[in-house]
Amino acid sequence: MKKENLTVTGIVGSKHAPQTPSGWLTTVEAAAYLRTKPRTLLKWVREGSMKAWPLHGTKRRTWRFRKEDLDSALGLVAARTADSVLSSSTSSVALQ
């Protein structure tokens, strides 16, 4: 029986913090960073709410993500969530 040496790359220190030498994340790595499923991330890309970079020269569309883009998208999502919470709490106060 042949033994193979398998190494885990891309995860140092935290299971949700991939470290890639090139600065680009795959869909699986980006989804792990955002703590969501890859299909959800690709849905956000199709909707235009997440910035992604397509790789050309493949039969299927393959996406790459930059950590800076993911962080900025998280900031926008957090801001929208905070605004919606504030607007819903103020409207419920106004109704009382």
- Average pLDDT score, the chain: 73
Domain ranges of the chain: 24-84
List, as one string, the DSSP characters of 22-84. Answer: TSEE-HHHHHHHHTS-HHHHHHHHHHTSS--EEEPSSSS-EEEEEHHHHHHHHHHHHHHHHHH
Question: Is the CATH number of domain 24-84 1.10.1660?
Answer: yes
Would the pLDDT of 51 be above 60?
yes
Band of residue 12 on the pLDDT scale cut at 50, 70, 90: very low
pLDDT at 91 over 70: no
Judged against a pLDDT cut of 80, whether residue 26 lies above it is answered with yes
Q: How would residue 73 be classed by pLDDT, with cut points 50, 70 and 90?
A: confident
pTM of the model: 0.56
